[in-house]
């Protein structure tokens, strides 16, 4: 029998990832699992020398805003009764998700997908694809536009 104990739910605050959070809450509610939210800030690529902008300040502002959003989401979920923790990390999304899953001994990953197709997917790649291919545990991909199988309350 498969027992869900720890759900890793990467969140980037897109509609798809917030829908994934809803799914994680439902799965956790029926299985008694804990949820771990993970927000990843990918480093801002440094352009050729441009002294008119301070990219370190931009990165710091993005990190601070992301941390505040994540903290607010965790607080809201705890108020609803979820057993939830979370963190923000900086780096390459797929690698961090897989590392965090191993660190937490997560046995289920629920994540949103933007559903990029064609040229955009070729150029930008897919974090979801990389996680699916390399994960040691089941991965549920939630798309923004899909048939619902949970009722929103």
| CA 46 to chain CA mean position, Å | 24
pTM value is: 0.85
What are the pLDDT digits (tens) for 90-146? 999 999 999 999 999 999 999 998 755 555 444 445 899 999 999 999 999 998 776
CATH code, 126 = 3.40.50.620
- 3-class DSSP state for residue 84? strand
**What's the gap between Cα 45 and its chain centre?**
21
What pLDDT score does 61 carry? Answer: 81
Distance CA 95, CA 133 (A): 12
92 is a domain residue: no
Q: Is residue 67 part of a domain?
A: yes
d(CA 151, CA 53): 46
What pLDDT band is residue 40 in, cutting at 50, 70 and 90? very high
């Amino acid at each position: 029998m498969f027992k869900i104990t720890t759900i890793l739910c990467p969140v980037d605050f897109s509609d798809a990832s917030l829908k994934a959070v809803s799914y994680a809450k439902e799965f956790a509610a029926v299985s008694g699992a804990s949820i771990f939210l993970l927000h990843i800030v990918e480093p801002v690529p440094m352009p050729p020398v441009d002294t008119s902008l301070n990219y370190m300040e931009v990165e710091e502002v993005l990190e601070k805003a992301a941390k505040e959003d994540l903290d607010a989401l965790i607080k809201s979920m705890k108020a609803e009764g979820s057993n939830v923790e979370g963190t923000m990390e900086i780096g390459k999304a797929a690698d961090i998700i897989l590392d965090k899953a191993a660190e937490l001994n997560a046995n289920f990953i629920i994540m949103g997908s933007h559903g990029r197709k064609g040229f955009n997917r070729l150029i930008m790649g897919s974090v979801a694809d990389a996680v699916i291919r390399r994960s040691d545990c089941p991965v549920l991909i939630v798309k923004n536009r899909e048939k619902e199988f949970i009722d929103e309350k």
